[in-house]
Structure 1
Amino acid sequence: MKKLVLVFMVVMLASPAFAVEVAPRISDREIIESLAELKAGQKALEAKMDLRFIAMQEQMDQRFTAVDQRFTAMQEQMDQRFEAVDRRLDFIQQLMLITIAGIFGPIPRCARWICACADWRKISNMIWSCNHRKVQN
């Protein structure tokens, strides 16, 4: 049994050696030609990549230009809206000033009239007589 295990182990350890093939000899000229082909392929790939990067850059530039135009348009719309709101607020302010002047405008006239009358008895008699006449009618 030991011999069988020993033979089996020798066969298993030696089997990777059977998988190795002897490579044919390559000349220096073939090596140089294959390297030249690889370099040419590498340059072609670099040229294609450069073209793709240039195309991507142009697309990005176009998109940024479009976004800038949108922002400019939005800014103009906002400016127009703010101007409209400013005009409305100016109108409301002027309307308030006119209303306040309409309410408080007659007060100085009445105050001048009251101050012009030095005798308060005359004023009270005038008021009493006006009220008394209304009651009699």
Structure 2
Amino acid sequence: MSAEPQPVRRPRRETVTGVPRAGRRPPGHTPARSEISEQTTLGHTYVRALMRSQLRAALYALGTLALLVGSLPLLFALPAAAAPHGPGLSPEPFVWAALGFGVYPVMWLVAHGYVRRAERNERDFTGLVEGR
């Protein structure tokens, strides 16, 4: 009598499905969008937080621009006071080159950084409101 090995039976696989995650909300939780549209205290807090973050981004950009561009008169005064002016030597070409070619890229970079930060703030706020 030879004993043949019995095949191992695997349990049948089942797929369990449920309500999609986007449709689930904790009980008793109202969406932030309705809080904002109904002008509740929580909605007011959400909007104030967005406004505060946008103001912070604007003040940071303004401070950076004021620091970089506002210090140019001091920078221009240093070579004029330190360098002896001989025939044909004048700081005006340097001043015009710095104003013409140096300021605009700095302003563009600060503005670009501000716009990216403001869009990120709005995207985060939208994600908060929509529950993403």
Check whether TM > 0.5: no
Q: Which one has a bigger Cα radius of gyration?
A: 1
Structure whose residues are more often helix by fraction: 1
Q: Which has the higher contact order (CA 8 A, sep 6+)?
A: 2
TM-score category of the 2 structures, normalised to the smaller one: 0.3 to 0.5
